[in-house]
Amino acid sequence: NAGVTQTPKFQVLKTGQSMTLQCAQDMNHEYMSWYRQDPGMGLRLIHYSVGAGITDQGEVPNGYNVSRSTTEDFPLRLLSAAPSQTSVYFCASRQYGRSYEQYFGPGTRLTVT
């Protein structure tokens, strides 16, 4: 199993550009989520999904869109990048009912200039 994979590892965007951060997992997990980590901070939840076709907002959803068309993939879209979205983005997944688990991807470091 590859676990949770994220692409790209690094990305630089100009203000106003859009892009999609990719996340995939091969563990057949129902739950997937996106977090961001700002300097000197812990992770904060952006959006999450409890299954294909079902998504919901987390703590800091503004400026981001998500969709979940398959169990495996959970892309995060930045609609119009802003410098405040400079951060490290982590995708995570777990199986429903196993609240003691949380698998994280390796992260994507995004810089918006």
Partner 1 sequence: AQKITQTQPGMFVQEKEAVTLDCTYDTSDPSYGLFWYKQPSSGEMIFLIYQGSYDQQNATEGRYSLNFQKARKSANLVISASQLGDSAMYFCAMREGSQGGSEKLVFGKGTKLTVNP
Residue where the block lists tokens 């939840």? 45
- Per-residue string for binding with partner 1, 83-112, x by CB under 8 A? -----x-x-x---xx-xx-xxx-xx-x---
Contacts of 30 (CB under 8 A, 6+ apart): 50, 51, 71, 95, 96
Structural tokens at position 99: 């609240």
* Contact with partner 1 (CB under 8 A) among 19, 27, 45, 52: 45
Residue from the set 21, 25, 29, 31 that interacts with partner 1 by CB under 8 A: 31
Reported as type and span, the H/E element at residue 91 is strand 87-94
Which residues contact partner 1 by CB under 8 A? 31, 33, 35, 40-45, 48, 50, 56, 58-59, 88, 90, 92, 96-97, 99-100, 102-104, 106-107, 109
